[in-house]
């Protein structure tokens, strides 16, 4: 019953809101860009709802404990993140889209496609799990060379987390090298999705301001005839 309910939340349905999402390897700059877009849209008078990957209050404690004890196989890793996404989608993303809001997501289902497949999970199986999710108005892919993304992350970190570095895959005993190899595999998955998923590619090595200008130009076209909702949904009721 629960799965049937989730599958009804958006698959092959249109919605009055707009859904803009960003994807890219770690260090691609996508989080900075979605934040700047959020500020710009709000300055234009739009009401925006923002969500980010792996942030469900219901699931995050279980995810943290499982990762800490290295209990996750590729399949359970995939499922626990799918549960996180499904919870946020049912309670937050889809209700706001139905209400006509502009929803911004820092990572969407394509993160699962890239990471889970990189861990060896069957591609068709992963896509089927997320088949309930609505197709974004636009998916922006911030494309950078692996070396660029990795160097950005390593400059700001004293240590890499076990799963973040892909240490569970046995790619290398050195966390930094494992992280680089893991991100390379993930990037290959993203690059392969550019055509099939209709990604709007932005060069993540360009100056931050130039990337944002290009992103805003595309978004502006897509919200030209957009009509914002009149009533702001009660956040507490959406989460109940």
CATH of domain 2-224: 3.40.50.300
pLDDT tens per residue across span 174-205: 999 999 999 999 999 999 999 999 999 999 99
Euclidean distance between CA atoms 132 and 147, whole angstroms: 35
Task: Determine if residue 25 is labeled as part of a ligand binding site.
Answer: yes
Task: Determine if residue 26 is labeled as part of a ligand binding site.
Answer: yes
Euclidean distance between CA atoms 21 and 139, whole angstroms: 5
DSSP one-letter code for 49: E
Give the position of tokens 């707009």.
18
Q: What is the pTM of this model?
A: 0.88
CA-based nearest residue to 187, from 143, 139, 151: 143
- Please report, for the chain, the start and end positions of each structural domain, with discontinuous segments joined by +: 2-224
How many residues are given for the chain?
A: 240
pLDDT tens per residue across span 118-151: 999 999 999 999 999 999 999 999 999 999 999 9
Q: Is 19 helix (H, G, I), strand (E, B) or coil?
A: strand
Task: Determine if residue 178 is labeled as part of a ligand binding site.
Answer: no
Q: Where are the alpha helices (DSSP H) in the chain?
A: 2-7, 30-43, 60-68, 74-88, 94-98, 109-118, 123-129, 146-155, 175-196, 208-222, 235-238
Task: Determine if residue 172 is labeled as part of a ligand binding site.
Answer: no
């Amino acid at each position: 019953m629960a799965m049937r309910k989730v599958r009804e939340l958006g698959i092959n349905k249109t919605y009055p809101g707009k859904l803009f999402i960003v994807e890219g390897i770690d260090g691609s700059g996508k989080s900075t860009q979605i934040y700047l877009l959020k500020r710009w849209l709000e300055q234009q008078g739009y009401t925006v709802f923002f969500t980010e990957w792996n942030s469900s209050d219901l699931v995050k404690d279980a995810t943290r404990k499982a990762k800490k004890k290295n209990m996750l196989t590729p399949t359970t890793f995939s499922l626990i993140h799918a549960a996180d996404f499904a919870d946020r989608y049912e309670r937050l993303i889809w209700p706001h889209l139905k209400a006509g809001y502009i929803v911004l997501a820092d990572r969407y289902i394509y993160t699962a496609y890239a990471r889970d497949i990189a861990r060896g999970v069957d591609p068709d199986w992963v896509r089927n799990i997320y088949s309930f999710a609505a197709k974004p108005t636009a998916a922006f892919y911030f494309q950078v060379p692996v070396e660029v993304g990795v160097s950005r992350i390593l400059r700001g970190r004293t240590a890499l987390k076990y799963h973040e570095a892909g240490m569970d895959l046995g790619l290398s005993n050195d966390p930094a090298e494992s992280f680089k190899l893991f991100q390379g595999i993930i990037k290959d998955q993203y690059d392969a999705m550019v055509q099939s998923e209709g990604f709007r590619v932005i060069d993540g090595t360009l100056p931050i301001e130039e990337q944002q200008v290009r992103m805003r130009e595309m978004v502006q076209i897509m919200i030209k005839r957009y009509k914002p909702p009149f009533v702001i949904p009660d956040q507490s009721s959406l989460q109940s």
